[in-house]
Amino acid sequence: MSLCMFYRNLNNNLLSKVSTIMAKRQSSDMTTFKEVLRSAKNVVILSGAGISAESGIPTFRGAGGLWRKYQATALATPGAFRENPSLVWEFYHYRREVAAKAQPNTGHLAIAKYEEKHATDKNITVITQNVDGLHARAGSKSLVELHGNLYKTRCTKCKEVLVNTDSPICEALAGKGAPDSAQIGSDIPVKSLPHCQKASCGGLLRPHIVWFGEGLEPEVLNKAEAAMSACDVCLVVGTSSVVYPAAMFAPQAAARGATVAEFNIEPTPATPEFHYYFEGPCGTVLPLVLSD
C-alpha cells in the first residue's frame, strides 16, 4: 500500500469517528467560538493556499494551475527536475517573483497580531502548507512551513539548505519564466543554473520545496504533529483539506476532542466534520474572530 493510500484510509477512519462523536450540528456562531478561543491555552492555525490567494498568489490547482502548457503540479516533482532542471527553475523563478511582489493580507496580519497579543498566555503555532513566506513577512513567529519555502535552496549534492532572496537567483534566469511565453521548453544551460557556492561541492541547487512524491522532512512533521496533538482549538484557514498528510491533522484533532473551526470561501470535503464553519474570505473573517 502506498503512503498516500495509507493516509487516505487513516483519514477516512478518523472522519467516521468524528461523525459519530459530534453530537451538535456544525455551528457558524462566531460569538460562541470566540468564547471557546478565549479560554484555549494551545491554539493551532493551519493555513493553506486560500489565504495566499487573497494576496494574489496563484493556487496552482484548478483553473489557475496551468503554467505555459504544463500543469504546475507536473513540474513540482523530482522526476521533472531530473529531466529538465532548467524548465523547473524557470517555473520556480516565476513563482518567486510573484510571491516577492505580493503583500501579506489582513488575514495574515490578523494571525500575526493574535500571536503577538497572546504571546504570554497561549501557545500559538501557525502550520502552513504555503511556501510563499507571507506568514513570516506578516510577523508570525511560531511558524511551521510544511512544504518548504520558495526562498530557500537545497544542494542536490551536499544537501545544504540556505536562504536566498536574490532576484533573480542567478543571471541566467533574468527575464525568464513568463507563463504566457510562446517558448515551451527552456534554453538555459544547466551549468548556468544556481549551484552550491562551496568550493568543495558545486552541486546543482534545487528549490527547498517538498515536491509531489516526496515526504515531509521528519523534523518539520514532528513539530507539526506535536502542536496538533497538544492543541485544544484548531483554526483551519483557506485549505482544501485534500493534500496529505496535512489533510488529516484537523480531523485527528477533532477526533480526540479539540474544537476545530474552518474558515474558507466555500465548503471542503472535511467541512461537515468540524465543529464550526465560517464562510468568506480569510482576510475578512479572521480579523473579526481574532480581534479579542
35 is in an annotated binding site: no
Query: What pLDDT is stored for residue 107 in this prediction?
Result: 98
pLDDT in single tens digits along all 292 residues of the chain: 444 454 455 455 544 444 444 334 468 999 999 999 999 999 999 999 999 999 999 887 655 578 988 988 899 999 999 999 999 999 999 999 999 999 999 999 999 999 999 999 999 999 999 999 999 999 999 999 999 999 999 999 999 999 999 999 999 999 999 988 788 899 999 999 999 999 999 999 999 999 999 999 999 999 999 999 999 999 999 998 877 888 899 999 999 999 999 999 999 888 888 999 999 999 999 999 999 7
Residues acting as catalytic residues: 147
Q: Which H helix or E strand runs over 15? A: helix 3-21
The cell numbers describing 60, all together, are 496552482
Strands 42-47 and 66-67: unpaired
Distance CA 288, CA 292 (A): 8
Write the burial class of residue 282 (CB in 10 Å: 0-12 exposed, 13-18 middle, 19+ buried): buried
Query: What pLDDT is stored for residue 167 in this prediction?
Result: 97
Strand partners, 262: 236, 277
In terms of Cα–Cα distance, which of 134, 138, 141, 136 is closest to 118?
A: 141
Provide the 3-class DSSP secondary structure of residue 187.
coil
Contact 213, 4 (CB under 8 A): no
265 is in an annotated binding site: yes
Query: What pLDDT is stored for residue 58 in this prediction?
Result: 87
Strands 259-264 and 233-237: parallel
210 is in an annotated binding site: no
Distance CA 9, CA 12 (A): 5
Cis peptide before 168 (omega within 30 of 0): yes
Query: What pLDDT is stored for residue 12 in this prediction?
Result: 52
Query: What pLDDT is stored for residue 243 in this prediction?
Result: 78
51 is in an annotated binding site: yes
58 is in an annotated binding site: yes
Contact 254, 209 (CB under 8 A): no
39 is in an annotated binding site: no
140 is in an annotated binding site: no
